[in-house]
Amino acid sequence: MSTTTAQAAVAPVAPATGRVRAYFAPVNRSAGTPTIFDPAQLGSFDLDTPPSPWADLGWISKFVRKCGTKVDPLRAGAPAITVAQVRAEVEAAISFEFESWGKLQATLASGSQQTNLLTTASSATANGSGGVAAAPISLVTGSGPPSTASSLNVGATAALGFSIGSLVAVDIDYTGQLGYVGTGVSTAYVQSASAVGGDVNYIRRVTLNAGVVVGIDSGVLTLASPLQAGTPTEGMKVSRLVGFCDREGASFFQEWSALFAIEGAQGDRILYHYPRLQTMQGSAEAVGALAAPLESIRLAAAFRALPVKDANDGETVVCFRSYLPAALRNV
Amino acid sequence: MQNAKDTFYTMLQGRLAMLNPSRTIVVRGVARPGTLVEENELPTASVPVDTFRLQWTKLQVNSVSPLPQVAMECSIQYATDGTSGQGSMDRGRLLAAMDAELASALAAEPRSEQKMNYSGASVGVAPAAMGTNVFWSDPVFGAAAVLDERLERTATVQVYSHQEAGEL
C-alpha cells in the first residue's frame, strides 16, 4: 500500500493579475449553435495554445463586466414587507479594448460585417468599401502539394502575382447563396443575390478566412498562420486584398462565442465564458496617451450576452464564470 | 519577506544570465552572473559596472488578506563606462542592452515564481518550495544619469508576496 505525506493547504487569497486574454470561437448562425467551452475538461489549457476551435485574440485591457440583471422584491402584507425575490430581467454586457489590431479583432469590434478590401480590377469604379475585385486565383489540385490551412498552391504562374507580405482572402465563389455566408465563420447575411450584385467575389469580400503570405516557393504560398477555416475546400479561390473596411450603419450583427482568461499570480485562473455575444455599439476606438502629439489607438468593443441553456439543468443563462484554484489551496 | 526577496533575486539572476551568459562579475574571487543584491555583499564604495545591483527599499504590508500581502520595492541600478577599445563611445549601446535585458527578463512568462526558502539551502541541499508565488509589476525606468564617461540608470519594480503561516 502506498502512502503520501499530508501537506498543509494554503489559505485562499484574492487573485492578483494585470492582464486578460481573449479567445474567439464561431457561432453557427444557421443552426443557432454556439461553441461551448467546457472548463472542467479544458480549463487549464496553455494560454498561448488554446484548444480547437478557439482562436487567440490576444491580450485585452479595460475589461469590464456589467450585470444588468434586475432582482425585484415580492411584497405582501400591510405594511408591505419583502417575502421573496424574483429575477425580473437577465442582462449582461461586457466592454474592453483590444491590445492588437488584427483582422479578427477589427471584425468583432466593428459592430457589423467587415469587408476585405480586395484588389480591384483595372478601371473599377470607385466604391467606399472597395470597387469590383480582380479575378480570383484558383487553387491548384493534382499538381504539386495540396493546399493546407497554412499553404496555398496557386501554381507557379499565378504565384508571380503575389509577393512576401501579400494579404489574401480564401473562400468559395458567390453563386447565389442566400442567408449566412463565410466559410468557418458566418460573416455576413445575404438577403438576395441582387443585393450583392451577384458579385462572384462577395464571400471572399466578407470572409474571415484571410492571411498574410510569408513565403513563396514553387507556386505555393506559405501563410504566417493557419486559415481560420482550416484546409481549403474544393472550389475555394484566392483573392488579394490590401486591408479591411467596416461601415457605420451596416445591418449585420456579428455573433461569436467568447472566452476570457485571467491568470492569477498564485497559479489560479478565472474563466469567463460567454457562448453568445453580439455587439452593442458601432465601431469605436479608445485613445491611449503617449507623449503629445502622439496617441495610441485601440479597438474598443462592447457586447451584449445572449442566452443559452445549460445542459446540466436546463437553466437559461448568459455567462459562465469558472474559478480554478491553484494547487493546494483551501476552498 | 526574506524568502520573497531571495526568490525574486534568484529568478532575476537566472533569467538575466540566460539572456546574456557573458554578463558576469567576479565577487570575492568567484565569477558569477552579473546580478547581485547589495545588502548581501560586503559594503563598498566602488560601483561595479555592467552589473545589475538590487536594493530593497520600500515595504508595505496589507494585513486584510487571509495571508498578509507584502509589497516591496526593488531598486535595480546598473551602470556602464562603455568599453575602452571603443573609447567609451559605445556606452549608450551598452546601457540600452542592459535596459533591454532587464525589461525582457521581467516581462517574460510566467510573471510569477514559486516562493522558495533558502535558509536551509547549501551545496547539495535544495531550497524548500513554499506554498505561494512571488509576483511583480512592470519595471519603471528612471532617467539615465551621466557621471563623466559613466552612464547609470535605476529601474524600480514592485515585488509582491504573501506571508505564509509561520513564515518570518
**Interface predicted TM-score (ipTM):** 0.84
pLDDT value of position A111: 81
pLDDT value of position A1: 64
CA distance B84 to chain A (A): 36
pTM, whole model, 2 decimals?
0.91
CATH class of this structure's domain B2-162: alpha beta
Do the beta carbons of residue A180 and residue A203 sit within 8 Å?
Answer: no
Q: Which three cell numbers stand for residue A136?
A: 480570383
Q: Does B160 touch chain A (CB under 8 A)?
A: yes
Residue B65: pLDDT band (50, 70, 90) is confident
CA distance A305 to chain B (A): 31
At residue A247, φ and ψ (nearest 5 deg) are -130, 130
pLDDT in tens, A113-134: 899 999 999 999 999 999 999 9
Q: Does B132 touch chain A (CB under 8 A)?
A: yes
- Per the CB < 8 Å rule, is A13 touching B133? no
pLDDT in tens, B19-48: 999 999 999 999 999 999 999 999 988 899
Q: Does residue A80 sit in helix, strand or coil?
A: coil
pLDDT value of position A291: 87
Q: From A318, A274, A270, A321, select the one nearest A47 (Cα to Cα).
A: A270
> Is the pLDDT assigned to residue B11 strictly greater than 80?
yes
Give the one of B66, B112, B138 whose C-beta lies nearest to A265's C-beta: B112
> CA B135, B140, B143: angle at the middle one, nearest 5?
155
Q: From A24, A104, A101, A129, select the one nearest A285 (Cα to Cα).
A: A101
Residue A292: pLDDT band (50, 70, 90) is confident
Q: Does B65 touch chain A (CB under 8 A)?
A: yes
Q: Which residues pair with A92 in a beta bridge?
A: A67
* Segments of A247-319 assigned E as strands: 255-263, 269-279, 284-289, 295-305, 308-309, 316-317
Give the one of A14, A265, A326 whose C-beta lies nearest to B65's C-beta: A14
Give the one of A11, A12, A267 whose C-beta lies nearest to B133's C-beta: A267
pLDDT in tens, A42-93: 999 999 999 999 999 999 999 999 999 999 999 999 999 999 999 999 999 9
Going by DSSP bridges, is the β-strand pair B52-62/B69-80 parallel, antiparallel, or unpaired? antiparallel
Q: Which residues pair with B54 in a beta bridge?
A: B37, B76
**CA dihedral for B157, B161, B167, B168, sign (positive or negative):** positive
CA separation for the pair A147, A138 (Å, rounded): 11
- Per the CB < 8 Å rule, is A18 touching B133? no
- Per the CB < 8 Å rule, is A10 touching B65? no
Q: Domain extents for chain B?
A: 2-162
Mutation for A interface: B70, B135, B158, B163, most A CBs within 10 A? B135
> Is the pLDDT assigned to residue B67 strictly greater than 80?
yes
Question: What share of chain A in percent tops pLDDT 90?
Answer: 89
pLDDT value of position B17: 97
